[in-house]
Structure 1
Amino acid sequence: MFFTANPIIRGVSTFVKRTSRALHASQITMAPIQVGDKLPSVDLYEDSPANKVNICDLTNGKKVVLFAVPGAFTPGCSKTHLPGYVQNADKMKADGVAEIVCVSVNDPYVMAAWGAQHNTKGKVRMLADPSGNFIKALDLGTNLPPLGGFRSKRFSMVINDCKVEELNVEPDGTGLSCSLADKLNYKK
């Protein structure tokens, strides 16, 4: 074990420890995204890691419905959430929605397979957020150990020209009440 007998070195060491704690404690924490906020410019992935889709580029100059789920192939997501958007896609697009996007903290291959199972082609774009960078930037993540740890809260939003027009976050982060397709007010 190494001990420092020199009081000057001990003093500097104590100062560094205290200063680093003070700097750490004063870090700014981000609040969750709100209506009126601009989306963060983050790359998501469609079908493979080679196909990047920047969310701001995708929503630039158009109305987009985006919903996020805790995980692909999970019961609530597969039986209710995704199917509702697939069933309502034609109506939403006829009412002026340019794109409908599903996001999950999964890899792009899993999202593609899940989309194929639910016939989303031409209706709902299945975008993967493998590292959770988009969900972290929105501050809408949650820890779900049974699903592998960090995941997205369940939410939906209407985006117009890269700005959030409507945001519906499930009160418990995972339920199925306010973020369903039939609860979304996209006709503004």
Structure 2
Amino acid sequence: MSVQPGDRIPEVVLKYINDGVQAIDTPTLFQSRNMVLFAVPGAFTPTCSERHLPGFVEHFDTFRARGIEVACVAVNDPFVMQAWGAQLAVPDGLRMLSDGNGDFARALGLEMDASAYGMGRRAKRFALYAEDGVIRHLFVEAPGEFKVSSAEHMLAQLDQAAQTPTS
């Protein structure tokens, strides 16, 4: 079963490049911050490179102006994530995270089997918004689709939530 809004982000260690390979655990990554994290099935793949990551690059300043950090994660190694980010001119501050063994995708319950495409076990395409490590919004794509995990959809949902009165 996958995580749901209201659940805490599971504790997993992710990797990234910053003067060598660095590790960050998810409690540290999400602690005391509002964050949008989106997952792609694979760096350098068509939809991920042409639409998914570019949308978050395009709207990065909008998220930041709202006090929201942005991170991308994929079941790729940290060197691939760094190279992909460089190729797509990812701005400083948009974290490119490696879930090399798929531990995070599995812990979230958002793992998929892409073996038929020669890609092994990967993360489903999704986007989540978390406050201090608690998931507030989660949007998981149906296989082969790209609609609900886009930057534009996430911004629209955050706008809608901001306009909804709380009881």
Deviation at 1:107, TM superposition (A): 0.4
Q: What is the match of residue 109 of structure 1? A: 79
| Structure-2-length-normalised TM-score | 0.89
Cα distance in 1 between the residues matched to 2:46 and 2:124: 15
- Structure 1 alignment gaps of length 5 or more: 1-30
- Partner letter of residue 16 of structure 2? E
| Structure with the bigger percentage of strand | 2
TM-score, with normalisation over the residues of structure 1?
0.79
Aligned length: 156
Partner of 1:33 in structure 2?
3
Q: Is the Cα–Cα contact under 8 Å of residues 86 and 123 in structure 1 kept in the other structure?
A: no
- How far 1:123 moved relative to its partner? 4.3
Is 1:186 aligned with 2:139? no
Bigger Rg over Cα: 1
Structure 2 residue matching 1:51: 3-state secondary structure: strand
* Equivalent position of 2:98 in the other structure: 128
- Partners of 2:91 and 2:12 lie apart in 1 by 23
CA RMSD of aligned residues (A): 1.4
Paired amino acid for 2:23: K
**1:9-158 equivalence runs, <5 A:** 31-47=1-17, 50-97=21-68, 99-145=69-115, 146-158=117-129
Residue 96 of structure 1: how far off its partner (Å): 1.7
Q: Percent identity?
A: 40
Runs of 4+ displaced beyond 4 Å: none
Partner of 1:168: 139
Tell me by how many angstroms 1:124 deviates.
1.7
Partners of 2:80 and 2:17 in 1: CA distance: 8
Q: Is contact 2:21–2:78 with CA below 8 Å preserved after alignment?
A: no
Q: Deviations over 1:132-184 (max 9, x none)?
A: 00000001010112142101100000010000000000022x42011000001
Q: Which position in structure 2 is the counterpart of 1:18? A: none
| Unaligned stretches of 5+ residues in structure 2 | 163-167
